[in-house]
């Protein structure tokens, strides 16, 4: 067929459009290259540089003398032992609690599942001191329950209190992990086992449990990393029980010994990073259950009292404790001194909402709002590059992106203080001015936003990766085949399709930014007050009422944001056409 | 016409659809030339080649099918042409211009995917308009073009539907409309019919073929289904383990296969061991089943070669015999299967077991297991071919 046969009106697009002809030398996709370079640069600055700087200081003569004394010096040995002990106890206990809650949620028959689910998730959106402060008030030396009800003077400071508070704070991680896994266990496997003659107990031990082991192992490892990395609770509840994170904090903030801080950070970094790597690349590979898979049917819910009653009693006990903690936070903010002087007062809330404390509230919310979309989009972008675009370097980019989660916040914070308190000079040139610390541009706010992004990026990245792995790559190729560049494909096709992951990423980014403490205490400045570090100051000075008010308001801000975000995403103009 | 579009496809398309199709016709169908094209996954030196130095000339307006078992390199070849895979070596030309380095989104080709790959978050209209909008056409023009494309596929009433609200066949046609609206020089299909049910697949075959004829667009179609290849193509490229075994028209490939692999892969074939009496330029004299036969031969067959005689199941002839012993021309029925339009026998002979297909069994005498038969075949349809050293 030739052109002359065509009606003139239907001037074929093919002849008039420039993109219809292969353009010599237009090369491969430039937008892809630009995106990779931008992401790589961003990651190097917000994660890479601080880590490199902390390592250089830790390996300096001064730092290395502390690192090498870790096992020989009895004090340091004690700190190391405390850290490992706390990590092991909390990870086992937290996983057990998480398992009970997940098992009850998925397999038991009872009413109020939704409420139990929400209660199980509550500690995730709460600021770090809420549980610790409530625990001191309720169960401490003059605790309302320990002393008030039982007349006991319990010493809550130390391992005991830390175990209690950390377990209660971190079990939701295990809960989420194991719940997903239990839900995706294919009931037809149980049926197959039953069909082959196995009884209920045999099914549990020979089919269910072996399939859950990677999930249980994964949860234990994740909780281990979380609990050895935690700084907030050891600061408030540790007492004489010093762990690596609080020791590093003391070195930097109390002794102005940056090298010491870097040295303790390195020792903390090694187990945290290796356990994280084991969890991420080994345990998750052993995973025989696809957590994202859809169950092929609904399992028969358990009604047998022998299992149901003890499980439910435990689940309700845990849920009650959680509620008790948060009720304390809420009520504690409305009375003069909870447990001592229970007169109603609005002073604490006035302090936070309208007084000196309001500064921190506005600043924190603003910075978190700036960091959230950056972290969410960057997470999706990294996920897309890792899953779809990069080949040999995808593992590296995935790993660097995840570092913000894998590296303890204390380590990141000290790294930021070392790397960004002074202007960044490389090859004799100043690349950018100091971004952290009091003398930095914007009062150090930039570094705080960077930390927020680094810390909250990984969850979105993970969610994005698993969402993308479920979408047929042919959809991307179809867009390319129709003339879309990589950037256009990402914007018009990929991003709309992974909206649920983006939503999860944004939600988590905001919650994490608002509640993170450990990296913040090292870089917050008088000009840029952050709520979590203000709470620390209030708790330190024993003004629990203000701390409670801060915590309650922080929770309200986070929950409102999540609510608004979900509402916005429901809006038809944003929602678009639902996918199957 | 009450017509769900599926049934409309098979009935006479109306004039509106036909004129819409005419206006989609491509101005300049592309010529695609592959030279020494190679693809090695993984390391260039140690990796196993998926495509081994293939040469292929695809004429403008031609419908060519890449056919072969999975892992034969057909999809890799198609994806290299589309630009989704980078060749390890060799060149891909479009109209004499080397396009190896042209990004896939800059190639004037459109692809229809096995999974259709419709954008699930866009309506049918937006799916089809996607590429045109990227070309920055004025929106009135986009609407006009999209309407034309949708009409040509008889999809007009579905323009505001979401992909998941449509049947597989409808989604398939949206994918086709989305590709055609771009007026590509080359249309690429990656096993597009494999997700459809059997009946619809047969309808779509004819539909795509008619459309392609009408538009005169160069089309490269990948499939592992020989029926699709046979019924749709101008020429078939039979591939196996990364090399091209034969490029020819469907009839030639069926009648005169170049290799045992091709004969076996396309249709079904019996391979008989024969005594070669004489090899001429245009044929050969062979002895098998107790007789001497004058058969056609592959040009490469020369005297003294190791050869085999291909006889298609439908060219075997059976007749009743009084003999009660297998040997010479006498064979025995091992099993029979009734297919309705044909009956199929498994026959034991001295030359091996033969698969025999007898069309329209009602018109013939039928045999049962254990019957002794006189076995022969149509000389003109038998094909003497070389046995390559590495094929069984």
What residues in A contact B84, CB-CB < 8 Å?
A: 477, 480
| Best residue of B20, B103, B167, B211 to probe chain A, by most A CBs closer than 10 Å | B103
Tell me whether residues A579 and B120 touch, CB distance under 8 A.
yes
Smallest Cβ distance to A23: which of B25, B102, B109?
A: B102
Region B3-29 average pLDDT: 65
**Tell me: the pLDDT tens digits for B158-181?**
989 998 889 988 999 999 999 999
Does the beta-carbon distance from B28 to A14 stay under 8 Å?
Answer: yes
Would residue A209 count as lying in a domain? yes
Phi first, then psi, for residue B285 (nearest 5°) are -105, 125
Q: What is the pLDDT of residues A447-474, one digit of tens each?
A: 999 999 999 999 889 888 888 888 888 9
pLDDT at A23: 35
The domain B269-386 is classified under which CATH number: 2.40.10.10, 2.40.50.100, 2.40.50.70, 2.40.50.140? 2.40.50.140
Q: Give just the sign of the alpha carbon dihedral A10, A16, A17, A20.
A: positive
| Closest by CA position to B268, among listed B356, B159, B208 | B356
Domain boundary (A332, A365, A392) is at A332
* A255 and A319 housed in the same domain: yes
Tokens for B50, please give them. 């998926």
pLDDT at A347: 83
Q: How confident is the model at residue A435 (pLDDT cuts 50, 70, 90)?
A: confident
Same domain, A107 and A230: yes
Smallest CA–CA distance, residue A474 to chain B, in Å, is: 6
Which residue in A6, A8, A10, A572 has the most chain B C-beta atoms within 10 A of its own C-beta, making it the best mutation to test that interface?
A10
Q: How far is B239 from chain A (nearest CA, A)?
A: 23
Q: How far is B240 from chain A (nearest CA, A)?
A: 24
**pLDDT reported for residue A459:** 86
Q: Do A5 and B122 touch (CB under 8 A)?
A: no
From chain B, pick out residues whose CB is under 8 angstroms from the CB of A574: none
pTM, two decimals, is 0.78
- What is the dihedral sign for C-alpha A17, A23, A26, A27? positive
Query: Given a cut of 90, is residue A365 above it in pLDDT?
Result: yes
ipTM: 0.79
The percent of chain A in helix, strand and coil, each rounded to the nearest 5, is 75, 5, 25
As a whole number of Å, the CA-based R_g of chain A is 26
Dihedral pair phi/psi, residue B238, rounded to 5°: -90, 125
Which residues in chain B have Cβ-Cβ distances shorter than 8 Å to A26?
A: 102-103, 106
Distance in Å, alpha carbon of B213 to nearest chain A alpha carbon: 10
Question: For B159-307, where are the alpha helices, taking DSSP H only?
Answer: 168-180, 198-215, 226-232, 250-255, 260-265
pLDDT above 80 (res A505): yes
Least confident of A276-280, A524-528, B270-274: A276-280
Q: Please enumerate in sequence order all residues whose Cβ is within 8 A of that of B135, keeping only pairs 6 or more positions apart, or say none.
A: A13, A17, A19, A483
Residue A292 vs residue B125, higher pLDDT:
B125
Cβ distance A1 to B109 less than 8 Å, yes or no, reads: no
Whether A429 shows a pLDDT value over 80: the answer reads: no
One domain, residues A271 and A401: no
A394 near A386, Cβ under 8 Å? yes
Residues 6+ apart with CB under 8 A from A406: A225, A272, A273, A276, A277, A280, A458
Of A272, A305, A332, which residue constitutes the final position of a domain? A332
Contacts A–B by Cβ distance under 8 A: 151
**CB-based contact B135 A22, cutoff 8 Å:** no
Residue A579 has what pLDDT?
Answer: 39
Mention every residue, 6+ apart, whose C-beta is less than 8 A from residue A250. Answer: A242
Residues A109 and A130 both lie in one domain: yes
Mean of pLDDT over chain B: 88
Would you say residue A577 has pLDDT above 50?
no
Could you list the residue range(s) of the whole structural domain that residue A232 is in?
A: 73-332
The verdict on A367 and A317 lying in the same domain is: no
**pLDDT > 90: percent of chain A:** 26
pLDDT at A286: 59
B123 vs A17, A484, A577: nearest CB: A577
**A528: nearest Cα among A438, A410, A455, A450:** A438
User: Which residue in A22, A492, A497 is closest to B106 by CB distance?
Assistant: A22
- Asked if the structure places residue A229 within a domain, the reply is yes
What CATH number corresponds to the domain at position A431? 1.10.3720.10
pLDDT of A25 over the 50 cut: no
- pLDDT tier at B12, thresholds 50, 70, 90: low
* % of chain B surpassing 90 pLDDT: 56
Residue A500 binned pLDDT confidence (cut-offs 50, 70, 90):
confident
What does the pLDDT average to over B31-51? 87
Question: With contact defined as beta carbons under 8 Å apart, do A161 and A138 qualify?
Answer: no
CA distance A100 to A365: 35
User: How confident is the model at residue B11, as a pLDDT?
Assistant: 47
Co-location of A368 and A505 in the same domain:
yes
Supply the mean pLDDT for chain A: 82
Average pLDDT (A486-496) is 89
Give the model's pLDDT for residue A8: 34
User: What DSSP string runs through B295-358?
Assistant: EEE-TT--TT--EEEEE-GGGEEEEE-S--S-BTTEEEEEEEEE-SSEEEEEEEETTEEEEEEE
- The separation between CA A495 and the C-alpha centre of its own chain, rounded to angstroms, equals 22
Distance set, CA B296 to CA A99, B279, B284, B309 (Å): 75, 10, 6, 9
In a mutagenesis test of the A interface, which of B82, B85, B115, B134 is the best target, namely the one with the most A β-carbons within 10 Å?
B134
Q: Which CATH class is domain B15-108+184-255?
A: alpha beta
CB-CB under 8 Å, B102 with A480: no
The stretch B18-37 carries a mean pLDDT of 84
Structure token pair of residue A380: 């999706």
- A35 lies in a domain? no
pLDDT at A182: 83
> Is A245 a member of any domain?
yes
With contact defined as beta carbons under 8 Å apart, do B109 and B185 qualify?
Answer: yes
Residues in chain A: 580
| B107 contacts A25? CB cut-off 8 A | no
- The alpha-carbon gap from B244 to the nearest alpha carbon of chain A, in Å, equals 26
Band (A177; pLDDT cuts 50, 70, 90): confident
Q: Do B109 and A481 touch (CB under 8 A)?
A: yes
The pLDDT score that the predictor gives to residue A389 is 83
**What's the pLDDT at B30?**
92
Q: Where are the domains of chain B?
A: 15-108+184-255, 269-386
Residues in chain A within 8 Å Cβ distance of B117: 472, 474-475, 477-478
The whole-number average pLDDT for the span B291-302 is 89
Comparing CB atoms, the residue among A26, A472, A483 nearest residue B131 is A483
The per-residue DSSP string of A270-308 comes to HHHHHHHHIIIIIIHHH--S-TTSPPSS-PPPB--HHHH
Assign 3-state DSSP to chain B and report helix, strand, coil percentages, each to 5.
Answer: 30, 30, 40
Name the pLDDT band for A27 (thresholds 50, 70, 90).
Answer: very low
Please report residues of A whose CB lies closer than 8 A to that of B134: 19, 482-484, 488
pLDDT at res. B269: 92
Q: Would you state the pLDDT for residue B356?
A: 94
Q: Tell me: the pLDDT tens digits for A72-119?
A: 888 889 999 999 999 999 999 999 999 999 989 888 888 888 899 989
The 10 Å Cβ neighbour count of residue B357 is: 18
Percent of chain B at pLDDT > 70 equals: 95
Tell me whether residue A8 is in a domain. no
**Confidence tier at B27 by pLDDT (50, 70, 90):** low
The answer to whether the CB atoms of B22 and A7 lie below 8 A apart is: yes
Same domain, A381 and A298: no
Query: Nearest CA of chain A to the CA of B184: how many Å?
Result: 7
Please work out, in degrees rounded to the nearest 5, the angle formed at the alpha carbon of residue B258 by the alpha carbons of B253 and B262: 65
What is the per-residue pLDDT for B23? 77
pLDDT value for A21: 34
Residues A298 and A379 in one domain: no
Report the domain count for chain A. 2
Q: For residue range B105-138, what is the model confidence (pLDDT) as tens digits?
A: 889 999 999 888 999 888 999 999 999 998 888 9
pLDDT of residue A444: 82
The CA distance from B84 to A476, in Å, is 11
pLDDT for the residue A151? 67
Q: Which residues of A touch B113 (CB under 8 A)?
A: 474, 477-478
Instruction: Quote the pLDDT of residue A348.
Output: 86
Q: How far is A473 from chain B (nearest CA, A)?
A: 8
Regarding whether A381 and A261 lie in a shared domain, the answer is no
pLDDT for residue A19: 36
A363 and A315 part of one domain: no
Q: Do A478 and B105 touch (CB under 8 A)?
A: no
pLDDT at B209 over 90: yes
Cβ B306 vs Cβ B260: under 8 Å: no
**CB-CB under 8 Å, B61 with A474:** no
Which chain B residues are closer than 8 Å to A492 by Cβ? Answer: 130
The pLDDT of residue A525 is above 60: yes
Q: How far is A485 from chain B (nearest CA, A)?
A: 6
Q: What percent of chain A has pLDDT over 70?
A: 86
Q: Is the pLDDT of residue B64 over 80?
A: yes
Cβ burial, residue A259 (10 Å; 0-12/13-18/19+): buried
d(CA A430, CA A416): 17
Alpha-carbon distance B163 to nearest alpha carbon in chain A (angstroms): 9
pLDDT 10s digits, B317-339: 998 888 888 888 899 999 999 88
| A24 — pLDDT class (breaks 50, 70, 90) | very low
The arithmetic mean of pLDDT across residues B12-34, rounded, is: 79
Confidence of residue A130 (pLDDT cuts 50, 70, 90): confident
**Contact state of B103 with A28 under an 8 Å Cβ cutoff:** yes
Residue A34 lies inside a defined structural domain of this protein: no
| In a shared domain, residues A385 and A472 | yes
Q: Do the chains contact at B215 and A1, CB–CB below 8 Å?
A: yes
The residue to which tokens 């609206």 are assigned: B181
Residue A11 has pLDDT above 50, yes or no: no
Out of A332, A364, A385, pick the residue that ends a domain: A332
pLDDT band for B16, please (50, 70, 90 cuts): confident
Q: How many CB atoms lie within 10 A of CB A15?
A: 14
Return the half-sphere exposure (C-beta side, CA atoms, 13 A cut-off) of residue A561: 25
Residues A419 and A322 reside in one and the same domain: no
Question: Would you call A2 and B82 a contact, using CB atoms and an 8 Å cutoff?
Answer: no
């Amino acid at each position: 067929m030739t052109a002359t046969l065509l009606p003139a009106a239907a001037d074929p697009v093919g002849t008039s459009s420039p993109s219809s002809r292969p353009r010599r030398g237009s090369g491969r996709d430039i937008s892809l290259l630009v995106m990779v370079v931008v992401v790589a640069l961003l990651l190097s600055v917000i994660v890479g540089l601080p880590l490199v700087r902390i390592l250089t200081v830790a390996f300096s003569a001064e730092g290395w003398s502390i690192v090498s004394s870790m096992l020989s010096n009895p004090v340091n040995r004690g700190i190391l032992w405390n850290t490992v002990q706390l990590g092991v106890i909390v990870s086992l206990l937290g996983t057990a609690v998480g398992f009970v809650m997940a098992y009850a949620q998925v397999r038991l028959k009872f009413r109020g599942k939704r409420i139990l689910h929400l209660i199980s998730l509550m500690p995730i959106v709460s600021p770090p001191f809420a549980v610790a402060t409530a625990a001191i008030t309720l169960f401490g030396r003059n605790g309302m329950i320990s002393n008030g009800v039982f007349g006991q003077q319990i010493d809550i400071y130390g391992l005991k209190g830390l175990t209690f508070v950390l377990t209660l704070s971190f079990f939701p991680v295990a809960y989420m992990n194991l719940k997903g896994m239990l839900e995706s266990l294919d009931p037809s496997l149980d049926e197959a086992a039953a069909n082959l003659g196995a009884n209920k107990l045999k099914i549990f031990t020979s089919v269910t449990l072996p399939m859950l082991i990677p999930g249980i192992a994964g949860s234990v490892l994740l909780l281990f990393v979380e609990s050895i990395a935690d700084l907030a609770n050891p600061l408030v509840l540790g007492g004489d029980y010093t762990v690596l994170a609080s020791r590093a904090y003391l070195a930097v903030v109390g002794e102005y010994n940056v090298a010491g801080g870097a040295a303790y950070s390195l020792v903390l970094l090694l187990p945290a990073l290796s356990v994280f790597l084991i969890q991420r690349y080994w345990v998750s590979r052993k995973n025989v259950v696809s957590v994202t898979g859809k169950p092929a049917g609904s399992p028969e819910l358990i009604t047998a009292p022998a299992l149901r009653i003890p499980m439910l009693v435990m689940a309700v006990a845990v849920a009650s404790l959680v509620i008790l903690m948060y009720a304390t936070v809420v009520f504690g903010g409305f009375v003069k001194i909870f447990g001592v002087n229970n007169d109603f007062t609005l002073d604490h809330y006035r302090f936070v909402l309208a007084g000196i404390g309001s500064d921190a509230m506005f600043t924190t919310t603003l910075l978190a709002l700036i960091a959230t979309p950056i972290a969410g989009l960057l997470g999706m972008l990294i996920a897309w590059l890792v899953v779809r675009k990069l080949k040999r370097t995808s593992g590296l980019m995935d790993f660097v992106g995840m570092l913000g989660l894998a590296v303890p916040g204390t380590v990141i914070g000290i790294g930021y203080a070392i790397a960004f308190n002074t202007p960044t000079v490389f090859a004799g040139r100043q690349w950018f001015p100091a971004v952290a610390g009091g003398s930095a541009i914007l009062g150090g706010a930039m570094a705080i936003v960077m930390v927020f992004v680094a810390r909250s990026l990984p969850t979105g990245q993970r969610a994005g990766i698993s969402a993308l792995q479920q979408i047929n790559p042919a959809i991307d190729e179809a867009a390319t085949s129709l003339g879309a560049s990589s950037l256009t494909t990402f914007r018009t096709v990929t991003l709309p399709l992974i909206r649920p992951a983006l939503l999860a990423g944004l939600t988590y980014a905001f919650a994490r930014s608002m509640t993170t403490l450990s990296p913040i205490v090292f870089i917050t400045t008088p000009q840029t007050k952050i709520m979590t570090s203000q709470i620390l100051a209030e708790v330190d000075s024993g003004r629990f009422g203000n701390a409670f008010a801060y915590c309650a308001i922080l929770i309200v801000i986070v929950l409102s944001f999540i609510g608004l975000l979900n509402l916005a995403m429901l809006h038809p103009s944003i929602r678009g056409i639902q996918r199957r | 016409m009450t017509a769900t579009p599926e049934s409309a496809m098979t009935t006479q398309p109306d004039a509106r659809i036909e004129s819409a199709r005419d206006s989609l016709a491509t101005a300049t169908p592309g010529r695609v030339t592959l030279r020494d094209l190679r693809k090695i996954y993984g390391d260039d030196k140690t990796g196993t080649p998926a495509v081994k130095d293939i040469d292929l000339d695809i004429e403008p307006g031609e419908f060519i099918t890449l056919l072969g078992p999975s892992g034969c390199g057909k999809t890799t070849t198609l994806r290299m042409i589309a630009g989704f895979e980078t060749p390890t070596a060799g060149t891909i030309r479009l109209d004499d211009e080397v396009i190896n380095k042209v990004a896939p989104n800059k190639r004037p080709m459109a692809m229809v995917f096995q999974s259709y790959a419709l954008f699930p978050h866009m309506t049918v209209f937006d799916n089809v308009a996607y590429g045109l909008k990227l070309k920055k056409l004025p929106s009135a023009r986009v609407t006009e073009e999209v309407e034309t494309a949708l009409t040509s596929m008889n999809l007009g009433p579905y323009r505001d539907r979401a992909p998941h609200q449509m049947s597989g066949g409808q989604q398939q046609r949206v994918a086709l409309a989305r590709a055609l609206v771009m007026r590509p020089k080359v249309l690429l299909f990656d096993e597009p019919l494999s997700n459809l049910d059997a009946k619809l697949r047969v309808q779509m075959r004819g539909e795509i073929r008619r459309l392609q004829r009408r538009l005169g667009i160069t089309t490269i179609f990948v499939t592992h289904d020989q029926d699709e290849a046979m019924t749709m193509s101008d020429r078939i490229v039979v591939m196996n383990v990364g090399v091209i075994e034969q490029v020819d028209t469907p009839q030639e490939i069926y009648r005169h296969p170049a290799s045992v692999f091709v004969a076996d892969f396309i249709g079904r074939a019996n391979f008989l061991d024969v005594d070669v009496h004489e090899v001429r330029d245009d044929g050969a004299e062979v002895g098998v089943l107790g007789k001497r036969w004058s058969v056609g031969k592959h040009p490469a067959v020369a005297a003294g070669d190791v050869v085999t005689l291909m006889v298609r199941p439908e060219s075997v002839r059976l007749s009743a015999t009084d003999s009660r012993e297998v040997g010479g021309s006498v064979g025995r029925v091992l099993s029979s299967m009734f297919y309705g339009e044909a009956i199929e026998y498994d026959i034991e002979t001295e030359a091996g077991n033969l698969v025999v297909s007898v069309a329209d069994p009602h018109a013939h005498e039928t045999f049962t297991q254990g019957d002794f038969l006189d076995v022969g075949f149509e000389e003109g349809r038998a094909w003497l071919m070389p046995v390559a050293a590495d094929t069984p």
